[in-house]
Amino acid sequence: MRESDGSLTSLRQYNRRQVLKALRSRGTSSRAEIAKLTGLSTTTISSLVADLLSETVIVELPDRANSAGGSGRPARMLAFNPAAGGAVGVHMAHDHVRVGLTDLAGEVIARETIGLDVDHEPAQTLDFVAHTTLELIARASLDRSAIVGLGVAVSAPVSVSTRAIDADRILPDWRGTDIATELGTRTGIRVEVGNDANLGAIAEHRLGVARHSDDFVYVMLSDGVGAGLVLGGRLYQGAIGGAGELGHVTVVSDGFICRCGNRGCLETVAGAPAIVAAMGQVRGAGTTLPAVIESAARGDHGARRVLADAGRAVGRALLPVCTVLDPSLVVIGGECAASAALLDAAREELARGMTPLRSSAIPVLGGALGDEAEMLGALTLARQRMTLR
Ligand SMILES: [Zn+2]
C-alpha cells in the first residue's frame, strides 16, 4: 500500500480495489473465495460487496446447481459488470479532436473524430469535447455519474506540479486555460490532463508493441512531434514535465522557422504539415499525408525522398537520446508512422550513428495502436483511479 493511503477512507478504497482486482482476474468468485484471495476479513468483504452490488459495478449471478458436495446454502457467485459504467479518453491534436468511450473493462464502445482548429479555438474545442462526451455517454445509455473519469491528451507539455499546460510559445491561444476545470465544469466528470506523446507511450506500453519493454522511447509523428520516455517501466516526465519534447530539437541549423520561434526544429521536417507542404510544391495544395504515404509505397521518388528525409531527421534527433538512455526499443507512432520509407530511414540513421559498443541495432518499430494511441493513453489516465470513487 502507498504511504499516502493512511486514512480509513483510503484503506477502504484500497481494499475495494483489491476486491475488484480479484473478481476481474477470476471472472466469477464467491465472497469466501474473494476473502481467501485478498486476505481480507469476511465482514469487510460483505460490506464492500454490498456497496459494489448497489452500484451495479458487480452483479450476483443467478443460482447455479453449485451446492453439490456441500451442505447448506450454495455460495452465491459474483462477477464484475463492465457495462455498469465507463471512462472517456480525448486526444486534442492540433487540427482534430478524437473522443473515445470505454466500458469499465476498458473496451472502446464508441468513438468520434472531428476536424477542428484546436490550436486557435480553445473555447470551441472545449465545447465540442464536452458536447461529444455527453452525447457518447447518452448514446451508450449510461448516466454521467457512472463515468469514472475523463482523460485528455494535449499537444503541449503538462506541468508535473500544477497539471496545467505549459505552452506559451507553442500554443499561445491556450495560455491560462485550465483544461481540467473547464471540462470538469462542462461535463460534471473528473478530468485528468496529460501530454499526448507521454500518453501514447503509456498506451503502447500497456496495449501495443512495447508490451514487453520497460525501457523504450515512443516518438509521436503527427501534426505535432513529441516523445514519451518509459524508463524502468515508468513514464519519465522530467523535473517540470517537459521530458521528451523532441519536436523542438534543432535538426537543420538554417531550416524553416518553427511555431516555437526557433529555426529548424524536428517538427519543421518530420511533422505531417512539413511533409505535406514539401510535396505540395509539386502536387498542389490539395495533397494530404495519406496520399503522400501511398505515393511513396507505390515508388514515387519525390514522396519517398520527403518521407525518408523526415525519417533520417527523426533518427538523428534520437541519436543522443538513445545514446544516453540505452533503450531496448524505439516505437514510432502517429499518422506519419504509416510510412515504411520513413521508418526504414529512421532505423538506418539511428543504427549508423549509434556507438559501436552496442552489438546490435536498437529495434525501431511502428506503433501497434496507430493514431488512436494518444486517445487510448488518455483513457488509461481516466481509468487510473477507477476503483477509488
Ligand atoms: Zn520548434
Percent of the chain's residues with pLDDT above 90: 71
Asked whether the predicted pLDDT for residue 383 surpasses 90, the reply is: no
pLDDT band at residue 3, thresholds of 50, 70 and 90? very low
Euclidean distance between CA atoms 201 and 218, whole angstroms:
5
385 or 172, which is more confident: 172
Q: Which residues, other chains included, contact 3 with Cβ-Cβ below 8 Å and sequence gap of 6+?
A: none
What pLDDT sits at residue 1? Answer: 43
What pLDDT sits at residue 2? Answer: 45
Q: Which of 12-26, 182-196, 305-319 has the lowest mean pLDDT?
A: 12-26
20 or 75, which is more confident: 20
How far apart, in Å, are the Cα atoms of 13 and each of 19, 47, 48, 145, 268? 10, 12, 9, 18, 47
How far is the centre of ligand 1, averaged over its atoms, from the C-alpha of 36 (Å)?
Answer: 56
Euclidean distance between CA atoms 128 and 116, whole angstroms:
9
Q: Which of 8-12, 96-100, 138-142 has the lowest mean pLDDT?
A: 8-12
pLDDT band at residue 162, thresholds of 50, 70 and 90? confident
Q: Which spans in the chain are helix H? A: 8-26, 31-38, 42-54, 122-139, 179-187, 196-207, 267-270, 272-283, 289-297, 301-325, 340-353, 373-383
Euclidean distance between CA atoms 205 and 331, whole angstroms:
10
Asked whether the predicted pLDDT for residue 17 surpasses 90, the reply is: no
What pLDDT sits at residue 133? Answer: 97
What's the full length of the chain, in residues? 389
How far is the centre of ligand 1, averaged over its atoms, from the C-alpha of 156 (Å)?
Answer: 12
Query: Hey, what amino acid is at 122?
Result: P
Euclidean distance between CA atoms 250 and 39, whole angstroms:
55
How far is the centre of ligand 1, averaged over its atoms, from the C-alpha of 253 (Å)?
Answer: 12
Euclidean distance between CA atoms 314 and 347, whole angstroms:
9
Q: What is the mean pLDDT of residues 179-189?
A: 95
User: Residues 60-112: pLDDT tens digits?
Assistant: 998 764 544 455 667 889 999 989 999 999 999 988 999 999 998 889 999 99
How far is the centre of ligand 1, averaged over its atoms, from the C-alpha of 221 (Å)?
Answer: 14
Helix or strand or coil: residue 138?
helix
CB atoms within 10 A of CB 244: 24
CB atoms within 10 A of CB 70: 9
Q: Are 104 and 111 in contact (CB under 8 A)?
A: no
Q: What is the mean pLDDT of residues 187-199?
A: 95
How far is the centre of ligand 1, averaged over its atoms, from the C-alpha of 267 (Å)?
Answer: 6
Q: What is the mean pLDDT of residues 201-221?
A: 97
**297-315: b (≥16 Cβ within 10 Å) or e:** eeebeebbebbbbbbbbbb
Pairing of strands 147-154, 86-92: parallel
What pLDDT sits at residue 219? Answer: 98
What pLDDT sits at residue 341? Answer: 97
pLDDT band at residue 389, thresholds of 50, 70 and 90? very low
Euclidean distance between CA atoms 205 and 243, whole angstroms:
17
Give this prediction's pTM. Answer: 0.87
Q: Are 213 and 328 in contact (CB under 8 A)?
A: yes
How far is the centre of ligand 1, averaged over its atoms, from the C-alpha of 310 (Å)?
Answer: 15
* Residue 89, C-alpha cell as written in the block: 479518453
Q: What is the mean pLDDT of residues 358-374?
A: 92
* Residue 241, C-alpha cell as written in the block: 514535465
* Residue 242, C-alpha cell as written in the block: 517537459
Euclidean distance between CA atoms 220 and 246, whole angstroms:
9
Q: Which of 48-62, 195-209, 290-304, 365-379 has the lowest mean pLDDT?
A: 48-62
How far is the centre of ligand 1, averaged over its atoms, from the C-alpha of 265 (Å)?
Answer: 5
How far is the centre of ligand 1, averaged over its atoms, from the C-alpha of 318 (Å)?
Answer: 16
How far is the centre of ligand 1, averaged over its atoms, from the C-alpha of 199 (Å)?
Answer: 21
How far is the centre of ligand 1, averaged over its atoms, from the C-alpha of 41 (Å)?
Answer: 57
What pLDDT sits at residue 387? Answer: 55
How far is the centre of ligand 1, averaged over its atoms, from the C-alpha of 268 (Å)?
Answer: 7
Q: Which of 180, 165, 55 is nearest to 129 (CA)?
A: 180
Q: What is the mean pLDDT of residues 5-12?
A: 71
Q: Which residues, other chains included, contact 165 with Cβ-Cβ below 8 Å and sequence gap of 6+?
A: 154, 156, 157, 158, 159, 171, 174, 177, 179, 193
| Mean predicted lDDT score pLDDT of the chain | 90
Asked whether the predicted pLDDT for residue 261 surpasses 80, the reply is: yes
Q: Which of 238, 225, 255, 265 is nearest to 158 (CA)?
A: 238
